[in-house]
Amino acid sequence: MKHRIAMWTGAGALIAVLWTIYISTTSTTPLGIVRTLAYLSCPISLAHHHALNFYFVLLFNAATYAMVGTVVETVRQLHNQTGAMSN
Where are the domains positioned within the chain? 2-86
Quick one: which of 3, 4, 11, 1 has its CA closest to 65? 11
Q: What is the pLDDT along the chain (87 residues), one digit of tens a residue?
A: 889 999 999 999 999 999 888 888 887 776 788 888 888 898 887 777 777 788 888 999 999 999 999 999 999 999 888 866 665
What pLDDT score was predicted for residue 15? 93
* Distance from chain centroid for Cα 67: 9
What pLDDT score was predicted for residue 67? 95
pTM: 0.79
Q: Is 73 helix (H, G, I), strand (E, B) or coil?
A: helix
What pLDDT score was predicted for residue 43? 86
What pLDDT score was predicted for residue 85? 64
Cα 10 from Cα 23, distance rounded (Å): 20
Q: Is 31 helix (H, G, I), strand (E, B) or coil?
A: coil
Positions of E strands within the chain:
none
